[in-house]
Structures are given as C-alpha cells and as structure tokens.
Amino acid sequence: MKTFAIVSALAAVGLVSASPTPTEQQKPNKRASLPTVTASGNAFWAGKDRFYVRGIDYQPGGSSGNSDPLADETVCKRDIAEFKKLGVNTIRVYMTDNSKNHDTCMNLLADDGIYVILDANNPKYSINRFSPAKSYNADYLQSVFATIDEFIKYDNTLAFFSGNEVINDMPNSTLSARYVKATTRDMRQYIANRGYRQVPVGYSAADVEQNRMQLAQYMNCGTDDERSDFFAFNDYSWCNTDFKTSGWDVKVKNFTDYGLPIFLSEYGCIDNGRDFGEVQALMSSDMTGVYSGGLVYEYTYEENHFGIVQISGDTAKEMDGFTKYQSALSKYPAPTGAAGAASTTHSVACPTKDSNWLVDSTLLPEMPSKAKDYMKNGAGTGPGLDGPGSQDSGSDDIPDATPGSGVATGTPTGTSSSSSTASASDNAAGPSFNGPMNKGPFVVTGVAVLFSLIGTLLL
C-alpha cells in the first residue's frame, strides 16, 4: 500500500507540473524552441546575439499562384530540405492562408533553424494604391489581424510586413503611405493589446530613388506608436558589380543614424548574371553598422527568371544560382559581436511635401470603429485566400486620428481566435495570451505535497 501511495504521490506531482492534456485544440509542444528575434537599437537580436537576415524570398508559383506553401506539407518538406542545404536562416513568404493550420511546416522550419518573415496582406486583402482610403477598412484589418493570430504563436516568426511596394515611382502613390503607416500602427497595437510577443512590424518598400528616403523617414517619424519597428526595401541596383559602382555606399551613408533596423527584403539583379557579391558586402564592416542582411529574390524559377530552383512536381532541381548563393553564404558568414550596431533607437523628422512626396499631413487615418473591437475580442477566423476581399469595403471619408491613438489600451479578454497551439514555443495561443506561464510555483507546491505524503507514510 505504501508503494502504491508513493507512486500516487509521484503521479500527483507529475500532474501538477506537466503540460495540459493534449486535446484537439491543444497539441503538445514537441520541439525545442528557437530564440525569438527582437528589434533593438538599429539591429535585430536573437537572445544576446546579433541576428542577420541571410535568406531567400519564397512563393512557389509566384503571385499568380494564389497558394500558401506553409499550409502544404508536401511542398514545404520538399523545399525545407533545399533551404537547409542552401544555408539560409530566413525565408520570406508573400502569401499565406489565415484560415489554415501551419503547425507542420512552421515546426519543420524551426527544426532546421529557419525563421519566417510574413506579408500580412494578400491580393484580395491589401491597401490599393489607387484607392487607399476605401481599401483601409475593418474587413481588411480583420484579415491582417487573423494572420497575426495564426503565426505569432511560432517562435520562428521573425517579423510581419504591413505592405509591399504599395508606394512606387508614381507621385500619386505616395498618398497611400498614410494608410500603410496606419496599418503598421494597427498591427503593432493589436499585438500589444492581445498580449502577444512583440514580433517586429515594418514595411517592404520599392527602391525608388525619388522617394526612398522620404518614405523611410515617414515610417520612422511621429509618436512611438506610429513608428515602424524596422524598414526594409527591395534593391536591384547591384548588377554583378561592386559596393561603390552599385551605389550601395551612398545608401549606407544616407541610412546611417536612421534609428531603426534596416534590411533588404529583396535583392539580386540578374542583368549581368549573379555571383551574389552582395553577401560579402552585407556581412562586411562597410554595412553591418547600418544594415542587418537581406533576402535574395527568389527561390523558385518563375516567368521572371529570378529563381534558383526549378520545380517539377515533388522534385526541386538546383540551378546555377543555387550553387553560387550557397557558396557566398558559406564563404561570408555573419560577423560576431555587435558589428557597429547602435544600441538605441530614435525617430526622425517627418518629410515635407514636394513634387515627389504628396503627403502634406503627419496625421494618420483613424482606425475603423469595428476594427477596434478586435483589439479586445480578437479577430476571429480569417477569410483565407478565397474570401470575398476587402478593397471596396470602406469609405473615402475617414477622419484623422489623434497622435498617440495607437498606444495599447488594455489587456486581452476571452479566448484567442487561433485554435492551434502546437507551436515551437511556450507562447502558444490561448486565453489572454500573456506569455509563458511561470511553472515554478506549481512545481514547488507539487514537491511539497510529495514530501508531505512520503513523510506521512513513513510515520
């Protein structure tokens, strides 16, 4: 009987300190977590180590494919093997389905030490540069927030993009910057109000000479709640040349003391072939004090001829570009230490209106009233890639917000909209989602119960 009692006591301790019994909603965390990446100063950090984006852009089928590679186990298993062989630590995925489960692919990526940067938009749910006010609405934000709900639970979710090349070389397109910046504000506020891990949010810009610096300044000006966590841009100016011929030296000079992390969300000009000399520059002291790496465009060979792998069914055939990028990553590793990174962040002055920059106000549009409910109650089930879309759901008449309106207003209540919790993290989605629970008190209590029972049995 004593043996049975002691075994029962041990079982009681196990019940006290163990994870919840797996259910259909709560699956067991079966993998060790990667260190989460944070933005601090003008750099990214994984724990105490500086983190450089050394990755590739990933969207099999291109923008016309309308598919989510992270929801297709066969596809992601095929490609993750190639990512590992290539030696990348990050992929960017342009299109995901926020109504589907991503546990398998995200966990497999984490197993191989690969982080993911996600675009929160898709073709049906995005800011329309030709009608930005109307496309900034509650339906749009519900989809954006649902994407956050789905992916923020994974430790290898590195960052979210609030938009991609919405502002281009047409001066009128700069008028949409207010709505992209408002989306960035709203995403950051949603993350804070829901009690989520502070995954960085920023914008992926086109490399347009006439508005590049003005857009960067705009994304880092104003009150803290309105500023981005980082700035990224797509740069194709290095066409198998060198640091100075490409003009990268001038860009580094212009972005020095910008105050936020900067990286290249796309790079890899194909005009003169590609040897990926950019990797050497990005990992050198010429750039590491200002830039935090970049993503080569792109993984799969599409009609634009940028890819480094040809896909045929379940087979990925490595092309010449694969070997060259693999060699560059191997030859030029990330430097150790801070490598010139600034320890503090700061804002910059907002740009003034001119012929290339038509934004004449520092005020942002007010968040739609219905979208404010998501801050407290969650976004609910996402519409996925086949939803009705949101670009015509709003109004052209949106009042201005008060500066500071994006500050977190409360703590979450109720249950998170994300039902799956099989992340690589203790930060699995659940009620209130206030981070990992401190299990110490439960373990101590369980041990106390054990010794009390054993003591009684031995009397």
**Phi/psi of residue 221, each to 5°?**
-120, 165
446: left (phi over 0), alpha (psi -120 to 50) or beta: alpha
What is the Cα–Cα distance from 7 to 443, expressed in whole angstroms?
17
The reported pLDDT for the residue numbered 435 is: 30
The reported pLDDT for the residue numbered 66 is: 85
Q: Is 165 designated active site?
A: yes
CB 271 within 8 A of CB 239: yes
In 3D, which of 164, 195, 169 has the Cα closest to residue 431? 195
State the chain's maximal CA–CA distance in angstroms.
89
CB 425 within 8 A of CB 35: no
What is the Cα–Cα distance from 379 to 120, expressed in whole angstroms?
14
User: Using CA of residue 357, residue 362, residue 367, residue 369, what is the dihedral sign?
Assistant: negative
Q: What is the pTM of this model?
A: 0.83
Strand-pair category, 90-93 with 53-58: parallel
The reported pLDDT for the residue numbered 32 is: 52
Helix (H, G, I), strand (E, B) or coil at 246: coil
The reported pLDDT for the residue numbered 322 is: 99
The reported pLDDT for the residue numbered 64 is: 66
Among 266, 278, 298, 302, the active-site one is 266
**Per residue of the chain (459 residues), what is the pLDDT tens digit?**
333 333 333 333 333 333 333 323 333 334 557 999 999 999 999 999 999 999 999 999 986 678 999 999 999 999 999 999 999 999 999 999 999 999 999 999 999 999 999 999 999 999 999 999 999 999 999 999 999 999 999 999 999 999 999 999 999 999 999 999 999 999 999 999 999 999 999 999 999 999 999 999 999 999 999 999 999 999 999 999 999 999 999 999 999 999 999 999 999 999 999 999 999 999 999 999 999 999 999 999 999 999 999 999 999 999 999 999 999 999 999 999 999 999 999 999 999 999 999 999 999 999 999 999 999 999 999 999 999 999 999 999 999 999 999 998 865 433 333 323 333 333 322 222 233 333 333 333 333 333 333 344 334
What is the Cα–Cα distance from 277 to 324, expressed in whole angstroms?
10
CATH of domain 37-331: 3.20.20.80
The reported pLDDT for the residue numbered 62 is: 84
CB 89 within 8 A of CB 54: yes
What is the Cα–Cα distance from 214 to 382, expressed in whole angstroms?
34
Q: Exposed (0-12), middle (13-18) or buried (19+): which is 305, by Cβ within 10 Å?
A: exposed
CB 241 within 8 A of CB 233: no
Block residue for tokens 């852009």: 57
Q: Is 298 designated active site?
A: no
The reported pLDDT for the residue numbered 420 is: 30
The reported pLDDT for the residue numbered 2 is: 32
